[in-house]
A = this chain, B = another copy of it.
Amino acid sequence: MSGFRASSIKALVFDVFGTVVDWRGSIIREGEVLAAKGLQVDWPAFADAWRAGYQPAMQRVRVSEGGSEGGGGWANIDTLHREILDGLLPRFGLDMLTEAERAHLNRVWHRLDPWADSVRGLRQLKSHFVISTLSNGNVALLVKMAKHARLPWDCVLSAELFRHYKPDPEVYQGAARLLGFEPAQVLMVAAHPSDLAAAARAGLRTAYVPRPLEHGRGGAMEPVGELRFDVVAADFLALAEQLGA
């Protein structure tokens, strides 16, 4: 990743789940509200199981989209989250939840809370750059989350717009095209090395912001391996400082 200059960057696009918001902590907190009603559930295990269903569900969509000419196989993340949730409820003793309660619980992904530095860091970055989501979450989910968490996006870009899930290259290339910049003028920000590696293959620049608490205290982080990034920052405030914003 030679020759990186912050001055060549016009836009920052952000992974959201885990990078901007704390999905696991938010789901556990929401679970504790239900727990107060007498439900005995291992909410951390529940959150982890829900998230674990995510990659396989997107892979099923990829296969289905690839197989059908008209691309009729697309399903958005709200739908995938609900399918996974319905599969988990019996295992966690939650099959007594009503349809309305299930629908509400599924929308917990619209109500995720940001990491402590996220909003202030984004505001600072926004004063110098275009800032956008680039998430597998669908547009409606990302818009509602932004209102809930006061995330000041300039633009809400989603895998949904390209009918491809990250790490497919169409998502990264499509984001640069819609924002009107060359891929090398766009910096992908993520807590997940695999997301950044795919962005780099698509020609984007990369900023790694590790979120060591994403999977809880002592939880495993995705290994970095041999990967190199254009920028590494401890949080969004440090990222803004490194980029001169």
**B155 and A178 contact, CB distance less than 8 A:** no
Which residues of chain B are within 8 angstroms of A78 by Cβ–Cβ distance? Answer: 180
**B156 and A130 contact, CB distance less than 8 A:** no
Q: Mark A163-189, 1 if CB is under 8 A from B, else 0.
A: 000000000000000111100000000
**In the assembled complex, A19 has its CB within 8 A of some CB on chain B:** no
Q: Given A156-B155, A156-B156, verify A178-B140 contact (CB < 8 Å).
A: yes
**In the assembled complex, A139 has its CB within 8 A of some CB on chain B:** yes
Which residues of chain B are within 8 angstroms of A155 by Cβ–Cβ distance? Answer: 139, 143, 156
A181 and B154 CA atoms in complex are apart in Å by: 21
Q: Given A147-B154, A156-B156, verify A180-B130 contact (CB < 8 Å).
A: no
Which residues of chain B are within 8 angstroms of A130 by Cβ–Cβ distance? Answer: 143-144, 147
Q: A140-B181, A154-B156, A155-B156 are in contact. List 10 more A-B contacts (CB 8 A).
A: A130-B143, A132-B143, A138-B178, A138-B180, A139-B178, A139-B179, A140-B179, A143-B179, A146-B154, A156-B156
5 interchain pairs, CB-CB under 8 A? A139-B179, A140-B178, A140-B181, A143-B155, A144-B180
